[in-house]
Structure 1
Amino acid sequence: MRIGELARRAGVSTRALRYYEEQELLTSERTPSGQRTYPQAAVERVRLIQQLFTAGLPSRTIVQLMPCIETGHASPEAFELMAAERNRITTAMTDLAAARDALDRMIDIAIHPTPEHCPALREPAWAPYHAMDSAAPIPERAPAI
């Protein structure tokens, strides 16, 4: 089948299929005019590649796992590789949670500004931030008229 048909049947773009070939995840034959053709089994292979990408695996890892997938026999190295990828994803999730929490704090400060965080609320407004560290109370602002 040609690239457009494979893309339609597998639910991906032709660009994705070309990328899979570049990454050595997929192979095609060429017609005399240079058009790509794929076997029927390519549909299932592309769907599997999509599942592996959805699981967060990079193409270089998928390439390493393909021999095990094709033979149906996972090696200890394949299990180690998948465990390492899971650890990488877990670390990324932890980092993202920390970033989300920091952003939540910034949103809270934006909603509830204080003189400590907002120079415009300081008396005088141009006072350096480190001056706010003193134990002296912050004077009240006069109400706007």
Structure 2
Amino acid sequence: MMDNTHDTFADLHLGTPGWFTVLAWLMPIGLFAQFASAGLGLFLNPDLIGLHASMGFTLSLPAMGLFLGALFVRRLRGFGLWAGLLFALYVVQVSLAATGAPLPLSLHPANAALLLTASLTLLAKVEHRRGQHKGAYPATSKAA
């Protein structure tokens, strides 16, 4: 039996805001695109490194939106830990890339893996909340 007192299940009757769900999906998709553009830039076309950097700065929007949503929307406060961790890892990621020094830059891929893990965990928690909300997914009909 599921205990619905978990903090991410607060105010389930209000649902999960669509914008929060979209941002939760955009973050891991964007991070996957980051991994792909970095790999292609290193091994195929060096011009794609510029795309990698541009996408990285664009990802500030979902990272910040998720963090601010968890801070200011009461029913989303249960996501505060993961949204905060995701935002902190994003700030570290940009800082590592901005230094340009070899040692911090070498930690950039490892931090990217942590960032992807945090984004996938947050997405799983958002989808779990949506699944707990009655009516979040259409009921399947049973054939008689």
TM-score, normalised on structure 1?
0.31
| Structure showing the higher helix proportion among its residues | 2
Computing the radius of gyration over CA atoms, which structure comes out larger, 1 or 2?
A: 1
The higher relative CO (CA closer than 8 Å, separation ≥ 6) is in 2
